[in-house]
Structure formats: structure tokens, C-alpha cells
Structure 1
Amino acid sequence: VQCFAVVVLFFNLSPLLKGSHIVGGRDAVPHSRPYMASLQLRGRHGCGGLLVKEDFVLTAAHCEIPVPFTVVLGGDSLTANEPSKQTFTTVRSIPHPNYDGHANDIMLLRLNTKANLTAAVQLIPLQRTRLRAGSNCITAGWGDIGDNRTLANRLQEVNVTILSQGSCRERWGAVPITRSMGCGIGADNFQGFCSGDSGGPLVCDGAAAGVVSFSGRRCGDPRTPDVYTRISSFRDWILNVINN
């Protein structure tokens, strides 16, 4: 466990799973984020993800656990019996080969069968270009809503502004911020992601631009901005895996 990362173990039986929650956000319009995936173990949400092919979900490598996930697509509420929900199990996890516990924090999960694309379950395109400082984006998830004990029942989202690499590195100090990472902050203090949102998407201009990776000891603190894995840095790897 890295000392600078917020870590909340919602899966008490699995000390390997760390997560990061939306604080200061809002309820998403139901099913307005049809690419969202909830990664669950024994009915308990642990990480987010995004559907990038009918049988592949993209998430963070630090979400990897030694048993299959249950993957729920098409949901707004974690607990409601919604007819739009589709449930799968993972048959393979493919973390990036250069993931080192900090950098290259990205992973693909293959589902046991293909999702049925509906109004509530859709693929999200991958951003081709690098994140630009000043871009206005959104991140979403079912993670902790502020007290490190309470998961959101309904999907939450929050607006995010992208920082320059220089500003991000300056704020994080000794923690290495690589070229394949990007940082974002909310409009107000203590808005952003935290526990249970790991692996969820950063969405800019309708495309997946980042994957939730880590933040500071206090979620949404602009002094330690939220850090995402830049999808553009791994687009070729993602496409190679899902197409072959």
C-alpha cells in the first residue's frame, strides 16, 4: 500500500483490493453513463470500470484480486432490482505488463459472455489525444461519499478540471507523476474521487480519457490532486488486447 494513496478495503476478505469515491458530487441522471461498470465481490461493490468492447471492461490494475469479479452493467442503483442490469463474471484479468504498483495502473477484464448493447449499456470510445490542461471533464462512480464508510447507492458524478503536468508535479512533490498520468481537481475544495471509485472513467468530450488511479489522504484535496491513468498513453495496448 502506497502511503500517499487513499485506501479503503470494502472487501474485508481481500487485503489486495484498494480503492479510491466521489465526494462533493451529485446524482447522475439514471442511465446517462451507460458505459459504467460496477466490479463486485460477493455482492459488494469494490471498483468501477468502463465498457470498451462487448466482452471487455477497462479498469485500474490495482483493483486486481485473485478471484473472479462479478461485473454489473446497466445499473444506476447498486441495490435496486433494475431490469436494465446485466450481470457477468470475469474469465481473465489482464493488467498492463509494466504495472509496478504505481505507474501504468490500467487493466482489462474479459467477461464470460458479450454484453447486450441497449439504451442502458453502451460502449465508450477511447480518447486519441493527450489530456489538455484546462479541459472540463467528468468522473463518476459508486464509491464512498465522504466518510470512508458509506458507499453511494446511486451513481455519482462530479465535474473535473485538468491541471498541467507541471502544476500536478509541483503539488505532489516527491510522489512521481509520470507522463502517462493526468491530474484533475473539482471546482471547489474537496470535490473529486475517493474509495470505491478506482478504475472508473474520466470522460472528456464524450470519450474515455482516464482511469481513476490514486488521490491524497483526504479525498478531493486540491493540494494532492486526483490522479488518473491517461488512456491515450495505452490506447494501442488496449486495442491490441481486445482485438486479438
Structure 2
Amino acid sequence: MDSSIIGGKEAKPHSRPYMASIQCKNHHTCGGMLIREDYVLTAAHCLNRSVFSSRDHFEVVLGAHDIKKKEKTQQRIPVIKYIRHPMFELNNKMDYSYDIMLLKLKNKAKLNKFVKVMALPKKNGKTPANVKCSIAGWGLKTPNGEQASDVMQEVKLKLQFSFECKNKWKQYFSSERMICSVSDGKHAFCSMTGNKS
């Protein structure tokens, strides 16, 4: 699964101060969200085994808009612990229903105008269908793209009804742990490909 923002637009700089760029050897690997001063929430599939062998070079960049520039607003903090959901480790890697991971940071982030914590939703909170959601990150800009965007992109998509998602994705969709959206063919937030996982 590629992390992509298809048909999006450049986000207003620093409009999402909770966003994190997860980097290996200064290369953007995946996006995440700062949920506490010392923890970032991301997807478990973002880290393949080859990345795990390079832990010394694994960092989180906070307060960024253009990740190719050394912006004064940026905070670069090493990751010291990786906590994958245990069910993701046990299940087939194509089962994304437990695709979640916490990254413990070596130092606490300095909260300010450019770096803020994102509050987690309430337990058992429901997200109704047809609500427009925003997705942001530095993902690929085209379905067959090779390079991620240097500046944060964002796209708005409408959420689907759970029964529609279940009909389309069958056993791959779990309404207890997932939401899904509908693409109009021009806007999307990820791209499934047969040769990548």
C-alpha cells in the first residue's frame, strides 16, 4: 500500500501542527500525528523490516511544511521505541484492521504555535457517513508517482456507509476498527498496487 494524496492541494503552511514526518536517514517514510509530547501515532505497515535495521537513523520531524528545507519551525526528534499493535504482528500483513503503531520519542516535543498535540477521539465514538474528512501528508501526488511531495498536501473526501465498505472490501473491512471513503476518480488518499505492500 502506498501512502498517497491524490488530487489534493498544498496545505496552508503549519495549519496542521500535529502532523509528523517519519524519516529514515532524512528520507520521508510515512506520516503520523503527535498525540502526546513524546508519542506519535502512525500505521504499522509504514515500517518494513529493512527500516527496523536502521533505528539509529529513524527520526520524527515536527513543525514542518516543506520537509526538504531546514525550517526554523521544525523539531527533529529520534525515535527510541516502536510499539506495533500485537495483532498486526500475528496476522497476515494484508490484514490492515490492526495497522497501528506508536513511536516513543527520545525527547518531549516543545509545544508551540507550530507543534501541537492532536486529541484522540472519544472511546466508541461513531463517525457518520457522508461527513467530509480531511487527510494530509507528504504522500505521492499521483497513483503511479515515484516521489513524495516536499510540501504538505491535503485532500477532502466523503466517508462511506459501513455496509457499502463491507460490500466492496468483503473480509478486508472491519466496521469496528475502520472507516472508508469514496473517491470521485480524481481525489483519493491512497493507491493500492499489486507489486507493493
TM-score range, shorter chain: 0.7 to 0.9
Q: 1:164 aligns with which of 161, 167, 183?
A: 161
Residues 1-244 of structure 1 aligned to structure 2 (within 5 Å): 6=1, 19-64=2-47, 65-66=51-52, 67-68=54-55, 69-99=58-88, 100=91, 101=93, 102=95, 103-128=97-122, 129-146=125-142, 147-173=144-170, 175-178=171-174, 179-186=176-183, 188-194=184-190, 215-217=191-193
Aligned-pair CA distance for 1:190? 3.2
Distance change in 2, residues 1:25/1:31 (3 Å): same
Aligned-pair CA distance for 1:192? 1.5
Aligned-pair CA distance for 1:26? 0.4
TM-score, length of structure 1 as denominator length: 0.70
**CA distance in 1: counterparts of 2:74 and 2:154, whole angstroms:** 19
Unaligned regions of 5+ residues in structure 1, if any? 1-5, 7-18, 195-214, 219-244
Which structure would you say has the larger RCO, counting Cα contacts within 8 Å and 6 or more residues apart? Answer: 2
Preserved contact between residue 185 and residue 191 of structure 1 (Cα < 8 Å): no
**CA distance in 1: counterparts of 2:121 and 2:157, whole angstroms:** 16
The residue identity in structure 1 corresponding to 2:72 is P
**CA distance in 1: counterparts of 2:172 and 2:61, whole angstroms:** 33
Q: Percent identity?
A: 37
Q: Which has more helix, going by share of residues?
A: 2
Aligned-pair CA distance for 1:185? 2.4
Preserved contact between residue 92 and residue 109 of structure 1 (Cα < 8 Å): yes
Aligned residues between the structures: 179
Aligned-pair CA distance for 1:189? 1.4
TM-score, length of structure 2 as denominator length: 0.85
**CA distance in 2: counterparts of 1:21 and 1:139, whole angstroms:** 10
Unaligned regions of 5+ residues in structure 2, if any? none
